Structure 1
Amino acid sequence: MADTDRDLLPEGLEDRLPAAAAAAGRVTRALLDVMDSHGFDRVQPPSIEFEKSMASRMAGVQPRRMFRFVDPASLRTLALRSDITVQVGRMAATGLGAAPRPLRLCYAGQVLTIKGDGLDPTRERLQVGAELIGSDSVAAAGELVAMAIEALRAAGASGISVDFTLPDLVDTLAANALPLDADKIEAVRRELDAKDAGGLVAAGGEAYLPLLTAIGPFDQAIERLAAIDAGGALAGRIKALREIAARVGGAARLTLDPSERHGFEYQSWFGFTIYAEGLPGALGRGGSYAILGRAAGEEEPAIGFSLYPDALIDALAAAETPRDTLFLPLRHDGEQAARLRAIGWRTVAAVCDNCDPARLGCTHRLEGGEAVRL
């Protein structure tokens, strides 16, 4: 009986063929180069850790999304990482616990989840990001948003837009300005996130209805948010958003959705989602959060972002033109070929008498010491 599924990949996983792999390398390098230029040092955590470590490091991490299995050596549960941010938090609190703050770290690597997000079946993604640990100030937020935009533009994205949000909006208002019973807060958060006016009233959040109007282009939406601010409870948040927007300037189109919660499971006072023209879905998210320190109950503020550039990589790979490649016949001069590579040529050497340069993707052939176009 024929083995019909030996060449299949599991749902949500795929190979990167040469064009896509090359584009992935260029995009990753471009993103990391921008982060490096801003003083962010790269770290490389392992792809597998103890489940307890990853699940308890930051609020909002969902262990049920992780692939888990028992380690034969320790007999403890291990997990494949679903988010590198939590690993960077562990490194900052342990191996880099004594490093000067604010600590600037960046990373790139694959992450996996048991199931895709919404209608997207993808379970493995490239995550590239940066974390500034030791501060979640307005200046830090402005730096990270501006750097994310710069990095994506350097990688080839265009028409970038950024949507700001206030993940702790309901908690801030419920504490005093628009009081809510503790058992209603989560329902009000959910209905605001869903933009469901009827559901919001049913959940006991009628006073929060005006927030549904403070959505759209940043300049107009922030004015509406300021106009409905209950007793100035959001004055500090509004001032901070204006300062961050000023830092971005005209580098990206800015919008505001202060009640957006999807994808901001562990962010605190500030969050943002970043998009690019012609690419489906979000390219990344970021915001302020806290990491656990070594001591029980100890927390450290941080702010960062995670980019998921797979859609950008696919778009660049599809638009890629063939590179100039020089065919080297059998018994060519090896020293001459090395000199040609040193000045930028990409070469493909013949390994048999019937190697066809055109079929091998070459654009030129080495003849008499010269590169001749095919």
Structure 2
Amino acid sequence: MTRTSLLPEGFRDSLPPHADGAAAVEAHVLGVAHGYGYERVDPPLAEFADGLASRLKDGGLFDAVRFVDPVSQRTMAIRPDITAQIARIAATRMAHHPRPVRLSYAGSVLKLRGGALQPERETRQIGCELIGLDTVAAAREVVTVAVEALAAAGAQGVSLDFTLPDLVPTLAAGALPIDDVDQLRDRLDAKDAGAVAQIAPAYLPLIEAAGPFDSAIGRLRQFDVAGVLASRLDALEAIAAAVGDRATLTLDPTERHGFEYQTWLGFSLFAEGSPREVGRGGTYTLMHEGGAEEVATGFSLYAASIAGAYAGARRRLFLPVGTPPETGAELRSAGWVTVAALEPGDTPEAQLCTHVFAGGQARPLGG
């Protein structure tokens, strides 16, 4: 017999209090973004696959679920990431808008398959994109918004790990020429010192140039005797100064996983209580019709990763039968979640309440 109640691998129901926590995270993040001038857009769940694939330089749809649209008979794709859709909106519907364009979004994304560290195939993505600039000032603003958004969502122990996605190509094109750039980047990303020593021993110091931000950037400056990386390192220090003590800062200059289409800056966000990163961002290039390119800076956060650690305990106030409706309205205005008894036998325990309204005030259950 088929068990129709089972969900496919990589899918799950989000139940209380985690669904409420995820919704609160989304509201807080978008609230911070709105305060910085990022206006909300809401693209559709699926688009024509060829258009979606063409929007991010070196992006593509390798992890997208595709299907044939019965109306147009064209291949469509369910978005595995919303960033490409923001690129389409900026290039078409908002092409007339003065640059930079500040946009925010929230929505579900679907991946073809899950991974060992992230088995979920459907997730909720929240983010901001600043289209038209990838300067130090733009990156500083985007990183600041991301850190403030996490704080507003209740995250504790936030840490920020910077990377330089185009580090190896930049060095290979100037001070340290190398034939097989892709192989070297892979080995540096894997911290495979033996392989790096065989391919390009001059790049070995990059493996050690990772760790706490101040010491790591110091080692990078010692490595960069030709000054090829000076502007990037200056930019990193300016961004780090803007963050200050609101996050723990680290630097892994050769990290590439998850930064396939970022350009000079990438960063990962972590928070206490979450087993994996809760967000990612950086600078990148958008592809427009006719091959035109446009720079951008942005970040994405994953509500479930944050809400899993910060959904918070329920705080529900039980209103016994006979409590005047206006009393309940006053309590809700004061910030309480009220649960009214609908029959005499109802109890606060049955309604998962933490407090009960008695004697004209809210009292802790059992207190």
Same fold (TM over 0.5): yes
Aligned equivalent of 1:256: 251
Aligned equivalent of 2:184: 188
For the structure 1 residues 326 and 354, does the alpha-carbon distance in structure 2 shift closer, same or farther, using more than 3 Å as the test?
closer
Residues in 1 aligned to 2:330 and 2:206: alpha-carbon distance in whole angstroms:
65
Residues in 2 aligned to 1:70 and 1:148: alpha-carbon distance in whole angstroms:
37
Q: Does the 8 Å contact 2:321/2:344 carry over to 1?
A: no
Moved more, 204-213 or 101-110: 204-213
Q: Is residue 294 of structure 2 the alignment partner of residue 300 of structure 1?
A: yes
Q: Does the 8 Å contact 1:59/1:265 carry over to 2?
A: no
What are structure 2's unaligned runs of at least 5 residues? none
Aligned equivalent of 2:277: 282
1:234 deviation in Å? 0.9
Residues in 2 aligned to 1:30 and 1:142: alpha-carbon distance in whole angstroms:
20
Aligned equivalent of 1:158: 156
Equivalent positions of 1:208-223 (< 5 A) are: 208-223=203-218
Aligned equivalent of 1:320: 313
Equivalent positions of 1:220-259 (< 5 A) are: 220-259=215-254
Q: Is residue 71 of structure 2 the alignment partner of residue 73 of structure 1?
A: yes
Aligned equivalent of 2:29: 31
Aligned equivalent of 1:63: 61
For the structure 1 residues 151 and 340, does the alpha-carbon distance in structure 2 shift closer, same or farther, using more than 3 Å as the test?
closer
* Secondary structure of 1:247's aligned partner: helix
For the structure 1 residues 212 and 73, does the alpha-carbon distance in structure 2 shift closer, same or farther, using more than 3 Å as the test?
same
Q: Does the 8 Å contact 1:327/1:347 carry over to 2?
A: no
Residues in 2 aligned to 1:47 and 1:217: alpha-carbon distance in whole angstroms:
39
Give CA-to-partner distance per residue, 1:280-315, whole Å, 9 cap, x none. Answer: 111111110011224x12111100111113122112
Residues in 1 aligned to 2:341 and 2:218: alpha-carbon distance in whole angstroms:
67
Residues in 2 aligned to 1:228 and 1:372: alpha-carbon distance in whole angstroms:
63
Aligned equivalent of 1:359: 350
For the structure 1 residues 290 and 106, does the alpha-carbon distance in structure 2 shift closer, same or farther, using more than 3 Å as the test?
same
Residues in 1 aligned to 2:284 and 2:74: alpha-carbon distance in whole angstroms:
28
Match for residue 264 of structure 2 among 269, 287, 295: 269
For the structure 1 residues 291 and 277, does the alpha-carbon distance in structure 2 shift closer, same or farther, using more than 3 Å as the test?
same
Give % identity. Answer: 50
Q: Is residue 149 of structure 2 the alignment partner of residue 141 of structure 1?
A: no
For the structure 1 residues 343 and 230, does the alpha-carbon distance in structure 2 shift closer, same or farther, using more than 3 Å as the test?
closer
1:62 deviation in Å? 4.0
Aligned residues: 363
Letter in 2 for 1:281: R
Residues in 1 aligned to 2:223 and 2:259: alpha-carbon distance in whole angstroms:
24
1:339 deviation in Å? 5.8
Letter in 2 for 1:268: T
Residues in 1 aligned to 2:230 and 2:341: alpha-carbon distance in whole angstroms:
70
Aligned equivalent of 2:303: 309
For the structure 1 residues 23 and 327, does the alpha-carbon distance in structure 2 shift closer, same or farther, using more than 3 Å as the test?
farther
Q: CA RMSD in A?
A: 2.1
Match for residue 44 of structure 1 among 31, 42, 52: 42
* Secondary structure of 2:105's aligned partner: strand
Letter in 1 for 2:292: E
TM-score calculated relative to the size of structure 2: 0.92
Q: Does the 8 Å contact 1:80/1:112 carry over to 2?
A: yes
* Secondary structure of 2:254's aligned partner: coil
Give CA-to-partner distance per residue, 1:229-275, whole Å, 9 cap, x none. Answer: 15111111111111111111221111111111110011001111111
Letter in 2 for 1:282: E
Letter in 2 for 1:364: V
For the structure 1 residues 352 and 172, does the alpha-carbon distance in structure 2 shift closer, same or farther, using more than 3 Å as the test?
same
* Secondary structure of 2:126's aligned partner: strand
